Amino acid sequence: MKHIKIHQILFFIFLFTIPFQTRVIFQSETAYINTVFNYHLGFILYLSDLVFLVAMLDWVLFDRPKMVSRLPTDSAFVATSAKEAASAATSGTLLHIIAFFSLILLTLFHVKHIELGWYNALKWLEMLVLLIYCSIVFKELKMFHVTLWILFISGVFQAIIGIWQFHVQHGLSLGFLGEYVSPIGTEGLATISYGLEKLIRAYGTMPHPNVLAGFLIVSLIAGYYLISGETFRETYAKIIVSCATILIILGLFFSFSRVSWLIAALVTLSFLWFHLKQKGWSKLKAVVIVTLISLAIVIIGYKDLAFSRASESLTNNSVTLRQTYNEMGIELIKKYPVLGVGVGHYIPALRDFYNLEDWQYQPAHNIYIFLAAELGILGLGLFLVIIGKILKLGWTTKNPAFAEASADKQLLTFSLLLAVGSFLLIGLFDHYPLTIQQTRLTFFLLLGMLMAAAKLDLERLA
């Protein structure tokens, strides 16, 4: 990054805006089901959309990117099989992305609300362009470091807001950042039961605590990477980052997302396993200390809350509703198996077939059911092929031919694989990795970074 370009500066600004809901809603009346606002029916322009659009225009007009792989064509240092596998995965991924978006456009021919269909098609285009941009532009390790720093700092900021919200049990008047926490008693407000009380969960500036938790998982991985990597050597800097990582873990706790609690535990164990395998004892110690301090704070100060949330019955209303949403999604797949109900038309289809409470019109709480219902089995299949190729490309760097890769690059690839895997796992229990602005942009950012990280190792060995 010796000569940083304007589109890269704009891209970093875009990263800072991702967690915020600052937005303009057009034709807002179409987003309401009676008196209940539904995100999935709205035409919403976010601040992050505008910044991303300007960044992409500058990139296309002045940088003139070529849609070709940056992978080397010959190398005496890379095993032929590994190189060919990675090259095929990269070139094939772009073709599958084009096919996937073409299928999205094809579904527009049978939708009822063409404007809603086009809006959601453009949102998919935004995500796919973000993936392609990252896979092409991330050519230096420094680009990854800056991005991870931004995701980490954003996570710390969101965690502080969320912790504060929980302790005061209301919003913090940060409407200019898109913060909105409904008054206690509002239908659909995310709360936990504590004795006879209902306590508001941490929202940050996100639309739901689960979305906050998903974003904080990525920030936690970034934090573990920073305290484990070679980005700085000063002890005081590592202490500051370690303390900030503890804040992220506490923010995750106060989101009271049980799925994210589980994934955070798996992420922590994965980093411990990685450092144990690499014999990185000082890095292992840093992660252990952060984890133990975080657990001590929760156990000493909030063990009753933790126990209350963890022991909530799996037959409670929220879990039952998730099962119901998924069953309705499966029924839509049976009715429209090939091309689905059409892009952006999951909620309209639910309204056509089911009589629910106004606030209950939500996507299936499983991204795979949701995709199959909206874009058909073909759409789900293409999406899984794209994901599979990207994961394969990332995993290729584990080949013995890449043993010479620096420890930092190995850690980077491992961290990105872990982040992408976390979102894919979350997708088994919730819809937000593909339906909510903040997390779907983060998800496709990670996919693009994983592609680029694998190519970094190939180029170094060329």
Tokens of 250: 């506490």
Round to the nearest angstrom and report the end-to-end CA distance of the chain. Answer: 20
Q: How many CB atoms lie within 10 A of CB 355?
A: 7
- Kindly report, residue by residue over 112-121, the tens digit of the pLDDT: 999 999 999 9
d(CA 31, CA 9): 34
Q: Identify the helix (H) or strand (E) that includes residue 137.
A: helix 114-137
Domain assignment present for 1: no
Could you say which residues of the chain have pLDDT below 70? 1-2, 66-91, 230-233, 313-316, 396-406, 457-462
Q: Note the pLDDT of residue 428.
A: 96
Q: Which of 459, 441, 447 is nearest to 391 (CA)?
A: 447
- Kindly report, residue by residue over 130-139, the tens digit of the pLDDT: 999 999 999 8
Burial-class residue 68 by CB neighbours within 10 Å (0-12, 13-18, 19+).
exposed
Domain assignment present for 231: yes
Q: Which of 323, 438, 362 is nearest to 40 (CA)?
A: 362
Q: Where does residue 200 fall: left (phi above 0), alpha (psi -120 to 50 degrees), or beta otherwise?
A: beta
Domain assignment present for 149: yes
Q: Note the pLDDT of residue 398.
A: 53
Q: Note the pLDDT of residue 230.
A: 67
Domain assignment present for 267: yes
Domain assignment present for 113: yes
Q: Note the pLDDT of residue 72.
A: 36
Number of domains in the chain: 1
Interaxial angle between packed helices 114-137 and 6-17, expressed in degrees from 0 to 180 and rounded to the nearest 10:
120
Domain assignment present for 332: yes
Structural domain including 372 reads: 6-461
H runs (alpha helix) in 20-79:
47-58
Is pTM beyond 0.85 here?
yes
**In terms of DSSP bridges, do strands 43-46 and 23-26 run parallel, antiparallel, or are they unpaired?**
antiparallel
Tokens of 29: 């009346």
